[in-house]
Amino acid sequence: MEMEIMTFGFNFETTYRQLSPHFYTETEPEKSSSPEMLLFNTGLALSLGLEASALNSPEGAEVLSGNKIVGETPIAMAYAGHQFGSFTRLGDGRAVLLGEHVHAGQRYDIQLKGSGRTKYSRSGDGRAPLGPMLREYVVSEAMHALRIPTTRSLAVTLTGDTVRRETMQKSAVLTRVASSHLRAGTFQYAIIESEEAAKELADYAIERHYPDFADKENKYELFLEAVVHAQSYLIAKWQSIGFIHGVMNTDNMAISGETIDYGPCAFMDYYDPKTVYSSIDVQGRYQFRNQPGIAQWNLAKFAETLLPLLNENQEKAIEIAQEKLDNYKDLYQAYWLSDMVNKIGIPTPEESDVALVLDLLEIMEEEALDYTSTFRALSLGNIESIKVKDEEKLNGWLSRWKSALGEKDQSLEDAHMLMINTNPAVIPRNHLVEEALFYAEKTDDLSKVKKLVEVLETPFDDSHDEYYKRPPNEEEMIRNTFCGT
């Protein structure tokens, strides 16, 4: 019993350490002067089989700040990536992997983010400011509640120290949970090391994520196909909910298909496909409408790393890779259409439904309608709350929509039921997130952050206070978000 309490239930079995040493570096986290648990995800801890009450304590804060190590020395992982289109060598510059926690036959990476400088650190790396760590906790857990594949947040621990950005800020450590931290950029790093390194990493990834492929003759082809599927599904989910990642670099594309690295991310308020929130995306590379195409570009870079494994003949290998990449567009379109017709109460899409969806989005863009509240109003039948200048055009669409439901023998009541369970009443609206983070940073009071987390746990519940549901006023609009480095 004493051993179980000491380890807080962590059952580390870190297979990544079995890879060649150039894939990682053993790294001790920097010591925190006075670690304090600020946010703790009891539900996630329990689902992982951890001793939640013991971990949510001063002793647990020592572990989740990196002061005390459970198991082997943590590791920082090496990777590369295309950042805004330019290739560079990277790595965990402010994070370490505590280990792979195994529970109920599943394997989870437990990572400390903001734990100090590593071999791979660049300027701005190392410690992380409190605000971005709270942001990732809030938004990643909201994404989970919205049923979108994502990394999770177990805790935010204050270090008692400061980090310099424009000003001196409090630093904090986020404990992140992921099915793995294997990125497209990890494979880009491997292939510039050697073809043998790429094969070693691919074999490891297949064994970890797609073990059914391990004994197949064409396992690398199946692996590429699976990653294409996972990404097409994920990006369709982002588009359907109005989420903008902000930094879709190849090092931020997890091969598991989980959303990873919540930096300058945001959710659209009024519908505009050209929306950009990231302050560093001055060219609009990762604007909302570009996300599907950028994902395909990232997948192409990932596929390039597998070419030597797909076939000894390079032309044949390129042909195989191109075939898989060509499938992305159709897969994405199918996932996106399925999600979007569900948003208007249609359970199974048909080709004729594409125009119905696009025409509604056109109205929303022309009228600058709030993306989330418009779909929620339709879900609840509150048409009168959708204020437009061209009422004739909206009424024409509503008439076509009801006719389409009738042709499918879909009752309006059934449509509304599907829509209510598809279109959230609350999302992590940018002004609410920024207000909660500002309050936490300036007053040391996390009550607004904790309340926001609580509300976002049940995004399809209409009983939340109007404060959390309404779109921002003009003076509340957030037009720029910033990364933590």
Close Cβ partners of 9 (under 8 Å, ≥ 6 residues apart):
48, 49, 50, 51, 54, 55
- Bridge partners, 120 (sequence order): none
252 belongs to an annotated ligand binding site: yes
Of 413, 401, 398, 410, nearest in space to 348 by CA: 410
- Residue 400 labeled ligand binder: no
Annotated catalytic residue, options 92, 251, 281, 370: 251
**Residue in the block written with tokens 């600058």:** 368
How far is 446 from 443, CA to CA, in rounded Å? 8
Q: Let me know if 251 is a catalytic residue.
A: yes
164 belongs to an annotated ligand binding site? no
Tokens of 474: 């003009």
Q: Is 435 helix (H, G, I), strand (E, B) or coil?
A: helix
Q: What is the DSSP string of 91-138?
A: E-SSEEEEEEEEETTEEEEEEEESB---TT--TT-SBEEHHHHHHHHH
Which of 7, 10, 8, 211 lies closest to 99, judged by CA? Answer: 10
152 is in an annotated binding site: no
Q: Is 91 annotated as belonging to a binding site?
A: yes
Q: How far apart are CA 332 and CA 330, in angstroms?
A: 5
Q: Is there a binding annotation on residue 49?
A: no
Cα atoms found within 13 Å of the Cα of residue 246, Cβ hemisphere only: 19
125 marked among binding-site residues:
yes
Pairing of strands 128-129, 168-178: antiparallel
Determine whether the annotation assigns residue 176 to a binding site. yes
344 Cα distance to chain centroid: 25
Strand blocks (E) in 29-91:
36-40, 75-83, 86-91
Contact yes or no for 327/319 (Cβ under 8 A)? no
Q: Which residues are catalytic?
A: 251
Q: Which residues make up each annotated binding site for ATP? A: 91, 93-94, 113, 125-126, 176, 183, 261
Q: Which residues make up each annotated binding site for Mg(2+)? A: 252, 261
Q: Which residues make up each annotated binding site? A: 91, 93-94, 113, 125-126, 176, 183, 252, 261
